Amino acid sequence: MAGGTLRSRVASRIGTPRTPGAAGPGRESSGEERSDAGRGPLRLLARCLAMVLAFAFMVAFAVVLAKLTLQPSPASESLTHTNLHPGRSLRAYLDQPELRDAVRQIGGNLLLGVPFGVLVPIVAPRTRGVLRVLLLTATVMLLVEFAQGALVTGRAFDVDDVILNTSGALIGYLLLGRRMSRAVHARRARATSPTSSRRWSWRP
């Protein structure tokens, strides 16, 4: 009879885990959970604010892009020519007698693509990634160039402009866009249960 009572006590001690509220470590973990729960709304507010600001900058950039690329220029109609050969316009830029003109042409097209690499991964986190940013930028710039060549007076389609714009987006993404997107859309670490990492202990 005494042996059966001893075995039942041993089995009850082995099969029953310690409750987190009964010990000190459990109370500490519950305090950490409450602090994390309090920080949640602040993180969500900061994330929403960052996305709103990024969207506002994206809209402003779209307006500037439209003014720079879709504004008619009748005075330069005789000077513009369609370019479907990569590198032809780049060589023409570099062959200009004034280095300042070449820097303005090449640098301006590069800077025009930088906001895509910085802002797009923040506004649309699913576009994060080098290939996705490049494909999205190239698609948008191709549409802009087609609109220039077909609809705007004094403008022409130039494949080198697309290459430079896409390169600018890549630079912006590698320098700022990737880090900012990760900071804004940081994934929350899964909260572990206080008893998940605690080993089962048995005391005779």
> Which is nearest to 114 in space by CA: 185, 182, 41, 167?
167
On whether the CB atoms of residues 177 and 118 are closer than 8 A, the answer is yes
Task: Provide the pLDDT for residue 7.
Answer: 53
Q: What residues in the chain have per-residue pLDDT under 50?
A: 2, 10-11, 16, 19-23, 26-28, 188-202
Question: What is the Cα–Cα distance from 136 to 165, expressed in whole angstroms?
Answer: 11
